[in-house]
Structure 1
Amino acid sequence: MMVLSGCQNAFGYINAKWIHEINLTYHQLDQQPEQQAALVEPEPISDAALIKTVAEAMNKSKRLQGELDYAPDFTMKLVYGDGYTEEYALGLGKEKGHNGLLVASVNSGKGYSIPAKHADKLRDMIYGAVSTDGEQPAAKSVQAAVVVTGPVTLSRNELFPLTGREEYLNLRLLQGQYNEDWATLGPLWGRHWSGTFELVVTDAEDKVLSTFPLSRHFQEDLEFGDFFQLEFGDYNGDGDPDFTIGQYGSSNGYIFKLFSLGENHVIRELPIQPTGEMFISSPERYSVKLDQVDKSSFKTTYYDNSVGQELHTLYQWNGTEFQRVDP
């Protein structure tokens, strides 16, 4: 499969609510064409979580330039509410951490690269919902989602050891969905909350002292798979507690942003150049304590598949932002 850089997809925005169901036909690469044709008609999949994941993957895909050389795992047919259908060739593979490929059947010369994060979600959900043996569809591992319409606290952190005040910094889901999947290994295994999140500082009587719209600082919908504690440090030497919040990046690590709690309970994002975020390989998924080098710098570690080893990145505070320092 060729993975080349390119421009944004030409699908336009795909709203998951438009899609009524998805039909997936698995292709075994070692079968002859006549054997493939003999496969039973695929079972329609109408699971809302899977449809949402497919729509997100299509919206995040990028157009590939150049001649395509690929062998798809699936033929995917989208069935819209008005009966209109679209068919695509979908290439995923089972190995995580790699981009996927989407090709429209009406124009097989145009391919679109699905980012690894979204391709991994599709792998987890699709391989749990579709048979890959050409016989019976496998049992669906994705459970129906529960709509969340009130605050749910996923991280409650005592601030007294940091500020000397009996206060708490909480991360909570304001509105979204909750579902469980105990059959599919990967980032969606177990409990799973998604939707709109905020950070809230409260006193000992749970009075709100300040709020921070966390979801606005991430380009994609926030998702968390467990309760967790924030990891604190003072990385720029200003005396204020700083903390990281991460999201799934690939099988090799998570993508983290850095925030700080200042005077009057004001929370702000600390700028990180050049991308605004850090890719870190760590057993901690949603908040990691950074490896501090001195009062105004830290380093991160990530595993690079291309060289087969861990690499380090140094960040230094220049008074207004953290700047990545190349070796």
Structure 2
Amino acid sequence: MEPIRRLLLILPVLLVVLLSGCQNAFGYINSRWISEIDLTYNSIESQAETAPFESRIFKDGEFIKTMASAMNTSKRIAGELDYDADFSMKLVYGDGYTEDFILGLGQEEGSSGLLLSAERNGTGYKVSAKNADKLRKLIFSGGSPAAAKSEAEEASVVTQGPVTVSRNDLYPVTGNKEFLNLQLLKGSYSEDWSIASPLAGRSWSGQFRLAITDEQGAALGTFALSRHFTEELSFGDLFQIQFADYNGDGNPDFTVGQYGSSNGSLFKLFTVKPDHSIQELQIKGAASGLFISSPDRYSVKLDVIEGGFRADHYDNALGRQVETSYRWDGAAFQEVAGESTDKRGM
């Protein structure tokens, strides 16, 4: 019984020693209890140009866990403090309870950070350089990949009715006060500015149609454009459709293209009929589209020749531009034998 009695006497003493030896006054911060961390940038004149944001809410587990670890291992700084701090910080717990803090990090790698309770802002705690560097990386680099993914998944754009990617006045080509519109009926809009390629930027993807409308927007005729392409259609910018009469029947013809490679796009030919119907004009030997090298990615105006058109493309095998002629045979355009021209040196 004596050893047990001694243990009961020692335990309270050990508990007092442990509690009095805590390195911070926050208690243990359990990251699993925190639902979000809100940071608001404090205006410091010398750092105004490098401010990462005015305010931001962090919800991803990596950031919350890193911040909790930094707080739990922080050490008290003796004496009163005179300081500038980067951020006001609010911990929001799952039950709605909040705690306010002041956080100083700066942007110098390898330097320690400063942490204070908003209620006791005269007493500071040192955040180790290792933890401070982790926090700088997450904050000043825009947050962790998990956070970026979470925000992207939460973002959504809701529209009412079709989205018009190309609106074209038909009066100059038909004399009628009507419009030809390329519209996204079902699909998605996205942006990607992180890669340097022809596909970077905006993108409307999905199921598209062509619609001829009057001045009030009433549909006079529609055409299921997506059914004439084997792949899902995608357009990376607003653009104008370019018209010409390629088969000589007096009706306006036009091209619609899709990205083919860095050297050009695959274009299909269509025509507008007087009854407001739209038809595809076939090109023999080019079921998936005619490959054309042009800075116009989605609609290009071809060179008109008697009974047809000329188009050019860059031939990788030959290492040069090649121009080819096509003529209408009453049912389709077909390549004119012997009229392909090497444009090297032109």
Match of 1:283 among 268, 286, 295: 295
Query: In the alignment, which residue of structure 2 is the partner of 1:161?
Result: 172
Corresponding letter in the other structure for 1:281: S
Change (3 A) 1:143 1:188: farther
SS at match of 1:283: coil
- Is residue 310 of structure 1 aligned with residue 324 of structure 2? no
Query: In the alignment, which residue of structure 1 is the partner of 2:232?
Result: 221
- Is residue 238 of structure 1 aligned with residue 249 of structure 2? yes
- Is residue 251 of structure 1 aligned with residue 270 of structure 2? no
How much does 1:265 deviate?
A: 0.4
How much does 1:305 deviate?
A: 1.6
Match of 2:188 among 174, 177, 188: 177
| Residues in 1 aligned to 2:324 and 2:152: alpha-carbon distance in whole angstroms | 39
Corresponding letter in the other structure for 1:316: R
SS at match of 1:185: coil
Corresponding letter in the other structure for 1:309: R
- CA radius of gyration, larger in: 2
How much does 1:292 deviate?
A: 1.1
Q: Which runs of 4+ in 1 moved over 6 A?
A: 139-142
Query: In the alignment, which residue of structure 1 is the partner of 2:271?
Result: 260
Query: In the alignment, which residue of structure 2 is the partner of 1:112?
Result: none
SS at match of 1:312: strand
| Residues in 2 aligned to 1:237 and 1:252: alpha-carbon distance in whole angstroms | 29
Match of 2:202 among 160, 173, 191: 191
Q: Give per-residue Cα distances to partners, 1:284-310, cap 9 Å, x unaligned.
A: 00000001122x111111011221110
| Residues in 1 aligned to 2:278 and 2:302: alpha-carbon distance in whole angstroms | 19
Corresponding letter in the other structure for 2:302: L
Corresponding letter in the other structure for 1:319: G
Query: In the alignment, which residue of structure 2 is the partner of 1:271?
Result: 282
| Residues in 2 aligned to 1:146 and 1:269: alpha-carbon distance in whole angstroms | 35
Change (3 A) 1:304 1:148: farther
SS at match of 2:198: coil
| Residues in 2 aligned to 1:293 and 1:259: alpha-carbon distance in whole angstroms | 17
How much does 1:146 deviate?
A: 4.2
8 Å Cα contact 1:143-1:180 kept in structure 2:
no
Corresponding letter in the other structure for 1:292: V
Change (3 A) 1:235 1:148: farther
Match of 1:207 among 215, 218, 234: 218
Higher helix fraction (1 or 2): 2
Corresponding letter in the other structure for 1:308: G
SS at match of 1:178: strand
Query: In the alignment, which residue of structure 1 is the partner of 2:304?
Result: 292
Corresponding letter in the other structure for 2:296: E
How much does 1:147 deviate?
A: 6.1
Ranges in structure 2 where 5+ consecutive residues have no aligned partner: 1-143, 339-346
How much does 1:312 deviate?
A: 1.2
The percent identity for this pair of structures is 56
| Residues in 2 aligned to 1:197 and 1:274: alpha-carbon distance in whole angstroms | 25
How much does 1:168 deviate?
A: 0.2
8 Å Cα contact 1:252-1:303 kept in structure 2:
yes
SS at match of 1:265: coil
| Residues in 2 aligned to 1:194 and 1:207: alpha-carbon distance in whole angstroms | 24
How much does 1:273 deviate?
A: 0.2
How many pairs are equivalent?
191
Match of 1:322 among 309, 319, 333: 333
| Residues in 1 aligned to 2:235 and 2:156: alpha-carbon distance in whole angstroms | 15
8 Å Cα contact 1:148-1:177 kept in structure 2:
no
| Residues in 1 aligned to 2:238 and 2:268: alpha-carbon distance in whole angstroms | 18
How much does 1:187 deviate?
A: 3.1
TM-score, normalised to structure 2, is: 0.52
SS at match of 1:223: strand
| Residues in 1 aligned to 2:158 and 2:185: alpha-carbon distance in whole angstroms | 8
| Residues in 2 aligned to 1:155 and 1:191: alpha-carbon distance in whole angstroms | 14
